A and B are shown apart, each in its own frame.
Chain A
């Protein structure tokens, strides 16, 4: 019963929460840059506007692939919020990403193809840590099931701080934050226009945005797993921790310049090895 409620809550509320967070993001970013910034509800206005736009497309499959991206993200998130296997959730997450990459390459347009290539490099950069993180949870709690992980007597972060650091590092990729916003970013003034979203317009772009909101909430859900335990007070702590991490990501976004793909790959892989790799090794040795 709880599972059904939580999955439904995710499916219905994740886009709202994601859009609100995006609104907050824009405002905080603007304040950091000494600007006023748009209203908190601006992402909703944007979505409304996108949906009312004319349906133009460069080919017949883009919309279908984009919708698949959205649905797979919803499935991945549902698995997480239903308390299912965390590895399966991560595998579906990368399948979802693949659909976005295919949507971008189906256009055969120079800018979106370039973005798709970079998106694949980004996936390669972050995937080792996500897999190791699942292993870390297994070592720390004895289960891959999210349902078991959140019912531990103490928070997982106590035994896996390294994984948390590594996860914070790669979250910048998933949230499309500088310095790792190689494949596309929220700003259209870069060397490859808008990257993977270059050829997406109107409702197609709106679907892509909603999917990103699902992904954002999914990532924060994974973040919360580090803090949740059997006590009720761990929930507000987890939510607060997620917000703090999100604010840190915004700060990093504004403070750092975009890096080249090589730096992205090297830094992610090395950080993964130093944080998750070491933390996991210690967990395995003391087990």
Chain B
């Protein structure tokens, strides 16, 4: 297993090398190479691990040198934050950063806890490594083509692509670190790195908006980091361990609730959702990375790890309520978005809410659903972000209204979008099946509030995806010519994602039994099949019908003779289905808009009450839980 340190070190090395390469063509090659090696390393690790029996592997005993280096690294991160905060006059953030770093240093120096194992590989870690390596690696490849086009369009921003790629690779390294760490102090170190890198990525363009949003993200994530740090200190003081596994097995109330709090901030749950859609100002590959493979997934990963310690207690109640509430609130706010990336951001928050709710319930079925949702969401969302980014580079806009009739203008990108959208909510794609299992598990867990949230949230989710899909498929001919400027490497990445989405759907029973069931087995010690045979049969029927009915109908109707007629437009159609004669007798351009229901579901209307309710619940519940445990 010597490959594991390389898995973390290689992307970090790439991150150091890339900024020094000035020539864009060579840099592009180096990025391909770096991403390719990351994927290959992950594949080797997977194969090696499977050949070794695929069990739990504990690695890296006590190594004081690395511990000290990490402590130094934490101080370096703190120094970086302090300098940037002073530069941009965001003084309160300094407090958060200094407080947690000093706290950690004090605890490590005055009360050192012997740690038998620092890294650990099990099924969940392996799944995360594969997701991070594959999706993250493909996003890096995509970014090469994207950043060229981006700086071609946006000449107002300074080209810092080298820095951008460096940060992407650093992110991958940190993510590998987070999912591999068994020692909480190590995990905290990598956790902080992801916070700082996302802060640097969000501020990429150096506009005022970007800088404000990046500090917004920073303070929210540092708040979670502070919770993480206090959790470690409390665990070290009271139960004398900093091993994640032992903390979960012990069920120590205060560390678990604080770690869960950290997980909630990182996975952008209400009231901490605003940083994630503020992150939209950054170039698209970073959004794709933050939303699909890394960052927010670190939050839900931690919550899934904590799930056995949250089953049936107050912490679980808090987490599942926040998750369920975020699911419905974010899906309602998504309805009012006409900016493609913002809609995707709200949908991410909403889907993460469902995963968090599942983790909070902490039953076997819900964790099954949570892991599957995480997997499907990573692939579909990464693909959707990439497609929207490419569409934006072609159209010069990511407004959903401008995507009217995109099927005729950018057919390839539209098909990719279509697969992604279908993957997010339609039967029989994985997201829907997981939702179905979650619904049953919520009922079995006697949590009726979550059932209500899920029922209403599904309806609102359906609306915002459907209206986008309909916008894409309307066959509207316009005179505006669009050329597809998407580069080959971008398509390469998106095609693989599309293939993976379809493949995961086809191989669903296999994914369930070979990937997810072992994870449940490891987390709970037991696992029974969540999907019964009759359900699988039903799913097969659905799959066949969804894949083959439209195809069959296409073949059937292709040969039928039709006479094409112009559409009815109220005023006389000018003959091209685009202009009609208005009441002055002049040609008027047809403009069709989607429904956005802004006054009912707009962010302005729902955000504040949502934040107040969720913040109130978190504060009250945390007080009750911690007060009760002290």
Question: Which residues of A are in contact with B by a Cβ distance under 8 Å?
Answer: 54-61, 63-65, 67-68, 71-72, 75, 79, 84-85, 87-88, 91-92, 94-95, 98-99, 101-102, 105-113, 116-117, 120-121, 123-125, 127-129, 131-132, 135, 138-139, 144-145, 193, 198-199, 262, 265, 269, 273, 277, 280-281, 284, 287
Contact = CB atoms under 8 A, between A and B. Distances in A.
A39 B448 CA distance: 49
Contacts of B550: 64-65, 68, 99
Nearest to A99: B550
B209 to A, nearest CB: 32
17 contacts: A55-B562, A55-B563, A63-B560, A71-B545, A87-B436, A94-B427, A98-B462, A98-B466, A98-B469, A102-B469, A106-B474, A120-B470, A120-B595, A132-B455, A145-B534, A193-B568, A280-B451
A101 B458 contact: no
Nearest to A125: B459
Interface of B is mostly: helix
Ranked nearest first, the 5 interchain pairs of A and B with the lowest CB-CB distance are A127-B459, A105-B470, A109-B567, A108-B476, A131-B455
A101 B466 contact: yes
B564 A57 contact: yes
Interface in B420-451: 426-427, 432, 436, 439-440, 443, 446, 448, 451
Contacts of B466: 98, 101, 120, 123
Contact of A124 (B405, B436, B462, B570): B462
Nearest to B545: A75
B459 A64 contact: no
Given A58-B566, A105-B470, A116-B470, A138 B440 contact: yes
Contact of A269 (B448, B456, B463): B456
Contacts of A98: 426, 462, 466, 469
B563 A120 contact: no
Contacts of B564: 56-59
A75 B427 CA distance: 12
Contacts of B594: 117
Given A71-B545, A111-B570, A88 B455 contact: no
A262 B598 CA distance: 12
Given A91-B436, A120-B467, A131-B439, A72 B545 contact: yes
Contacts of A124: 459-460, 462-463
A131 B553 CA distance: 29
Interface string B541-583: 1100110011001101100111111111110000001000000
B589 to A, nearest CB: 12
Interface in B452-508: 452, 454-456, 458-460, 462-463, 466-467, 469-471, 473-476
A131 B448 CA distance: 13
Given A88-B535, A91-B427, A131-B455, 11 more contacts: A56-B564, A58-B577, A60-B562, A91-B542, A94-B427, A98-B469, A106-B474, A113-B474, A116-B470, A127-B459, A129-B455
